[in-house]
Copies of this chain bind each other. A is one copy, B any other.
Amino acid sequence: MATSRTLRTRARILDAALDLFERQGYDATTVNQVAEAAGVTPMTFFRHFATKDAVLVTDPYDPLIAEAVGDQPGHLPPLERTRRGLLAALGDITPTEDATARRRVALVARSPSLRAAVAVGTEATQDAIVERLVADGTDRLDAAIAAAACLAATTAALLAWGTAPDDVTLAQLVRRALAHLAPAGAPS
């Protein structure tokens, strides 16, 4: 298969980008610099990552999250249903698979333009949740409000994790964030 070469190139670009972004800042680093450091043409960079920020911002979790929300009891109000769904999907997440996750999040936390990119990505997740709730009869606006609030709290936790001490777990912070949205100091 031809993917092995692809994967190696992609990894080289990613390494070079992470390195340069950390050393001189995201905004101060051009795609050309990253490409050159990776021994590659700028054009090739964009063939592997659709945008400059795509190197750092990726979230393929949408379908899982929407499913987890749908799995919660349908008689609950949308906010609580979403909250429990997110808790189920992310409450015990452990990004061991990707040791660079924290570096990426730390970079995102530092750059406004990157946080904007995260917001765009989050919107897709929000839409997925909304569609799932609407399918069960929830009013669209109510669903959007619930999803937006829960995801915003979760994102705040994610960004905080980027600059938190090493022994702090992402799952811990997410649980803490969602606990704030629990009905009146209620259980878990």
Chain A binding surface, main DSSP class? helix
Q: Which of A116, A146, A150, A181 has the most CB of B within 10 A?
A: A116
Identify which of B119, B145, B153, B173 contacts A156 (C-beta below 8 A): B145
Residues of chain B lying within 8 A (CB to CB) of residue A159: 144
B-side contacts of A153, CB under 8 Å: 145, 148-149, 152
Please name all residues of chain B whose beta carbon is closer than 8 Å to the beta carbon of A13 when the two chains form the complex: none
Residues of A132-188 at the interface with B, using a CB-CB cut-off of 8 Å, are 141-142, 144-146, 148-153, 155-157, 159-160, 173, 176-177, 180-181, 183-184, 186
Q: List 25 A-B contacts (CB under 8 A).
A: A78-B180, A112-B120, A115-B119, A115-B123, A116-B116, A116-B117, A119-B119, A141-B157, A141-B173, A141-B176, A142-B180, A144-B159, A145-B153, A145-B157, A145-B177, A146-B180, A148-B156, A149-B150, A149-B156, A151-B152, A152-B152, A152-B153, A181-B181, A183-B183, A183-B184
What is the interface of chain A, defined by CB distance below 8 A to chain B? 77-79, 112, 115-117, 119-120, 123, 141-142, 144-146, 148-153, 155-157, 159-160, 173, 176-177, 180-181, 183-184, 186
